[in-house]
Amino acid sequence: MAIREARGATLAGLNREQLREMHYKMVLLRRFEEKAAEEYTLGKIGGFLHLYIGQEANGVGAFSALQPEDYVLSAYREHGYAILKGIEPKAVMAELFGKATGCSKGKGGSMHMWSNEHHLLGGQAIVGAQLVMTAGVGFAIQYQGEQRIALALFGDGAVDEGAFHESMNLAALWKLPVVFLCENNQYSMGMAVTKAWSVPTLEPRAAAYGVPYRRVDGMNLLEVRDAVREARERAVRGEGPTLIESLTYRFRGHSMADPAYYRTREEEKLWKTTRDPIALFEERLKGEGLLTDDEIRATNERVDREVEEIARFAEESPFPEPDELYTDVMVSGAGAIAWRTKPSTPKE
């Protein structure tokens, strides 16, 4: 199909450059995670590693609807969010490597990325914890009369926690400028959502709090983007929270340690071959004459080069100095004992 050369060619109000940038970001997130998996098997990355592969349309779609000053709070599958919010991918990979150049100085790891500058308020390894804090960030926005929002990203497992109930109720009660985006990837670790939820969707739960609800195809970037944009506008207008349920699928196990015995290989294959969000976006753009196979190839090659550079940076970065062990426990430097005879630090 011939490329529509006309400058004004758009899709969903987005121009060619914007759409190609979104495509690039999805490819970057995917390749970044593939590289992280490689490094994990090489022993360069420790602990847990939860990959975002398969869910890229959610992050790229949602973040494209945000403003730079908006806050984001998330769960532990967050490498992609950190990159999308503006943290250098090198600093994200370095964090995975536990290096001093990581975005949390190597002290957080895969599940705990932060940036004051970019208003990324962390990944949480306690399921649902970000929901109650999102209400608080929303309150601070409201209290100070700011034109920004707090976006909470969470999975279907977080819905099972009491924190979900407490947060939805308070956000609705106080009309807080927050957006709740549930990436329902259908499994909380090995627990199928059909076995964990008493109702099949979040619609009745949203209704219980009087919160507007929208269900989207989480493999369709533009649909996610549109829902978040609409919810953001509502929040900024002072009309309170929205609950978005995005149906998606993670192509890998829960973490690197998970062989995913709880689901069939056929199910995985079906999603990977027919519902891959990157392939779907490419087909859509190609169909609209907004992207060519040559451009896709060029993007893939560019991302391959970038990811190699990102990994090299992480590898060559130094580990934290030994003194970092006791740094930043508290702002004041206080520890368990307030020595009068020694410097008041956590060091014994």
Partner 1 sequence: MRTITYREAIREAIAEEMRRDQRIFILGEDIAGYGGTYGVTKGLIEEFGDKRVKDTPLAEEVIIGTAIGSALGGLRPIAELMTENFSLLASDQIVNSLAKFHYMFGGQPKLPVVIRMPGGGGAQRGAQHSQMLETMFAHVPGLRVVLPATPYDAKGMLKAALRQDDPVLFLEHELLYNVKGEVPEPNEEYTVPLDRGIVRREGRDVTLVTFSRMVHITMQAAEDLAKEGIDAEVIDLRSVRPLDLDLVLDSIRKTNRAVVAEEGWKYYGTGQGIAAVIYEHGFDWLDAPVGHVAGKDVPMPYSKPLERAALPGRAEVIAAVKAIVPAPASVR
Residues that bind partner 1 (CB under 8 A): 71, 73, 102-108, 112-116, 121-122, 124, 126, 129, 131-141, 143-144, 150, 162-163, 166-167, 169-170, 173, 327-332, 334-341, 344, 346
CA 49/CA 161 separation, integer angstroms? 22
CA 123/CA 113 separation, integer angstroms? 6
Structure tokens at 303: 């991302």
Structure tokens at 29: 């997130």
**Smallest distance from partner 1 to CB 73, Å:** 8
**Smallest distance from partner 1 to CB 129, Å:** 6
Give the nearer residue to partner 1 in terms of CB position, either 168 or 222: 168
**Smallest distance from partner 1 to CB 338, Å:** 4
DSSP letter string over 292-321?
-HHHHHHHHHHHHHHHHHHHHHHHHSPPPP
Give the nearer residue to partner 1 in terms of CB position, either 236 or 296: 236
Structure tokens at 296: 């896709």
Q: Is 216 helix (H, G, I), strand (E, B) or coil?
A: strand
Give the nearer residue to partner 1 in terms of CB position, either 144 or 273: 144
**Smallest distance from partner 1 to CB 263, Å:** 29
Give the nearer residue to partner 1 in terms of CB position, either 13 or 162: 162
Give the nearer residue to partner 1 in terms of CB position, either 265 or 340: 340
**Smallest distance from partner 1 to CB 210, Å:** 14
Give the nearer residue to partner 1 in terms of CB position, either 67 or 344: 344
**Smallest distance from partner 1 to CB 134, Å:** 6
CB atoms within 10 A of CB 160: 17
141 Cβ contact partners less than 8 Å away, ≥ 6 residues apart: 71, 148, 149, 150, 176, 177
CA 52/CA 32 separation, integer angstroms? 10
Give the nearer residue to partner 1 in terms of CB position, either 150 or 222: 150
- CB half-sphere exposure, 49, CA atoms < 13 A: 24
CA 106/CA 109 separation, integer angstroms? 6
Tell which residue, 49, 23, 56, 109, has the closest CA to residue 293.
Answer: 23
**Smallest distance from partner 1 to CB 322, Å:** 15
Provide the β-strand partners of residue 126. Answer: none
> In Å, how far are 85, 136, 210 from 20, measured between CA atoms?
18, 36, 38
Structure tokens at 290: 């907004």
**Smallest distance from partner 1 to CB 146, Å:** 8
Give the nearer residue to partner 1 in terms of CB position, either 108 or 157: 108
What type of residue sits at position 201? Answer: T
